[in-house]
Amino acid sequence: MKAVILAGGRGKRLRPITDSIPKPLVEVKGKPIIAWQIEWFKSHGVNEFIICVGYLKEKIINYLGDGGEYGVRIGYVVEKKPLGTGGAIKNAEVFLKNENGFFVVNGDIITTIDPKKLTKLGSKYIGAIALVQLPSPYGIVEFDENLTVKSFREKPLLRDYWINAGVYYFKPDIFHYLPIEGDIERTAFPNLANLGLLKAVRYKGVFWRSIDTMKDLDEISKLLGEKGVAPTST
């Protein structure tokens, strides 16, 4: 089974780091984001990768090569211009259309979820999307009926709300719904949802972080700990 890593974006909110380094090569605890992703997938039995590259593509290709250093096989699909997440997957169709199914991950995610849970689609669905509980961007204050402050909780999970984890599994039929240009979240996903063809798979008690800003980068480095081991979310 193959996994697609969407690694073509500019990572504007991580400037000035990404002025000279593509976002997937930004290091977290001394290891590039994309290396975390390859090792995570490999631990779940995925050994073949398609990397969708665009911005500063040569640096990613030179760093990863054919994947031999990681014990995997890596191929590349190049975006000549930004295509968005949906267009980037569509651009890789020739390498994926004969697969029974394949994984896709955004190039800024570090997680411990088990991607194999996404593959249990049945005949009804053509894709599955991983969901994780929404982490609050702020700490919260707890108080009693008399408005006496009782405690403070730092950025807890909001357990009644679920967000797109940026990890997917698709059957090849997905290519009929993907745009040539545009983000999958704004094009194919709403269409698939209206047709009832997209399955939600919920993950609890897992580690998941998206790295969008310098603050995210600092926080995830602390969360991964001294040994670079991701803790279980609480």
> Which are the catalytic amino acids?
155
Helix (H) or strand (E) holding 40: helix 33-43
CA distance 145 to 163: 31
Distance of CA 175 to the CA centre of its chain: 19
Contact partners, residue 119, CB within 8 Å, separation at least 6: 101, 128, 169
DSSP states of 181-229: SS-TTTTHHHHHHHHT-EEEEEE-S--EEE--SHHHHHHHHHHTTTTTP
Q: Which two tokens stand for residue 191?
A: 């269409």
Q: Which two tokens stand for residue 119?
A: 């593959």
| Exposure string for 49-58, b = 16+ CB within 10 A, e = fewer | bbbbbbbbbe
Neighbours of 170 (CB within 10 A): 28
- Residue 151 corresponds to which amino acid? S
Question: At 161, phi and psi to the nearest 5?
Answer: -125, 140
- Residue 86 corresponds to which amino acid? G
